[in-house]
Amino acid sequence: MKIIEAADYRSMSRKAANIISAQVILYPRSVLGLATGSTPVGVYQQLIEWYDKGDLDFSGVQTVNLDEYYGLKPDHPQSYHYYMHTNFFDHVNVPAKNIHIPNGLVRDITAECADYDRTITVLGGIDLQLLGLGNTGHIGFNEPNESFDKTTHRVALKQETILANSRFFDDPKEVPRFAITMGIKSIMRAKKILMVVSGIGKADILEKALFGPVTPLVPASILQLHPDVTVVADEDALNLMRSHGLS
Ligand code: GLP
């Protein structure tokens, strides 16, 4: 695992965007696994800036998103469809047919999840998966205590996650209680993983994830077992890492 320290959020975003850019420049037909949450917003902004300058071309790229709230329409301002379009897709040239995000409105969740996994397989698997880190140590929406062995499935969100995500909703009661997420197994199948982490509020859970025991209680801890993980984090998020030999 590589841990890259950035001075601040902006620098974290640029470093992570550089890694994604390198992937797209070297392999223009890459399958990118994409993430939501507040942390990757700066990464998307940086990629858009380089795209505007003509340095990046996403026309051959396929994208698969990690997760979506269950029950939110794609045009709901807090849906991950809406997030991805407003923060990224509306500004770059990923063809619409190459964009894949779980459908949070389906009745037959089992079929939707199986379909989503099939899509990833047909695309040849994920080349580079971008991840944020939830306050509970979740990745995607894989909450603590879930089996490491799951592919795409529906999850009940933990109260702590509902609370953390309620900051984006006008009325906290509107926060969905369920989501569809790629499972840990789907995430671990990605060839490369890039996790971005920012802020002092994540320092404790980041240390547990990277240096604590590998346990479903801290879903991100499974990343210790992946052969190609890069974590780009700012100084605040790495605050508790000094004892682990990080300068
Ligand atoms: C949500 C998303 C995760 C994300 C997490 C952290 O729960 N499903 O993919 O990593 O939020 O979000 P933030 O970056 O806003 O702290």
Domain residues for 99?
Answer: 2-193+220-234
Q: What is the CATH number of the domain that holds 41?
A: 3.40.50.1360
Contacts for 64 with CB less than 8 Å, ≥ 6 apart: 31, 32, 33, 34, 100, 101, 116, 119, 120, 123, 126, 182
Amino acid at 24: V
Q: List residues bridging with 179 in a β-sheet.
A: 69, 155
More confident: 224 or 159: 224
Does any domain span residue 44? yes
**Which of 51, 33, 36 is closest to 83 using CA atoms?**
36
pLDDT of residue 247: 55
What crossing angle do the helices spanning 9-26 and 41-52 adopt, rounded to 10°?
50
User: Is the distance from the beta carbon of residue 37 to the nearest atom of ligand 1 less than 6 Å?
Assistant: yes
Q: How far apart are CA 223 and CA 208, in angstroms?
A: 11
CA of 133 to the centre of ligand 1 (A): 6
Q: How far apart are CA 43 and CA 25, in angstroms?
A: 16
Evaluate whether 129 touches 201 at the Cβ level (below 8 Å).
Answer: no
More confident: 86 or 244: 86
Does any domain span residue 159? yes
Q: List residues bridging with 234 in a β-sheet.
A: 6
Specify the residue with its C-alpha closest to ligand 1, atom 11: 37
pLDDT of residue 164: 86
Q: How far apart are CA 103 and CA 109, in angstroms?
A: 9
CA of 141 to the centre of ligand 1 (A): 8
| pLDDT tens sequence across 181-193 | 999 999 999 999 9
Does any domain span residue 204? no
User: Is the distance from the beta carbon of residue 58 to the nearest atom of ligand 1 less than 6 Å?
Assistant: no
CA of 38 to the centre of ligand 1 (A): 7
Q: 0.85 cut: is pTM over it?
A: yes
| pLDDT tens sequence across 122-165 | 999 999 999 999 999 999 999 999 889 899 999 999 898 898 88
Specify the residue with its C-alpha closest to ligand 1, atom 1: 37
Amino acid at 116: Y
Does any domain span residue 242? no
Q: How far apart are CA 44 and CA 87, in angstroms?
A: 7
Residue with tokens 């695309």: 123
User: Is the distance from the beta carbon of residue 42 to the nearest atom of ligand 1 less than 6 Å?
Assistant: no
Q: List residues bridging with 156 in a β-sheet.
A: 178
Does any domain span residue 146? yes
Domain total in the chain: 1
pLDDT of residue 221: 98
Q: How far apart are CA 85 and CA 80, in angstroms?
A: 8
Does any domain span residue 244? no
Does any domain span residue 198? no
pLDDT at 104 over 90: yes
How sure is the predictor about 169, in pLDDT bands with cuts at 50, 70 and 90? Answer: confident
Does any domain span residue 77? yes
Tell me the C-alpha to C-alpha distance, in Å, between residue 34 and each of 7, 83, 120, 145.
24, 11, 13, 23
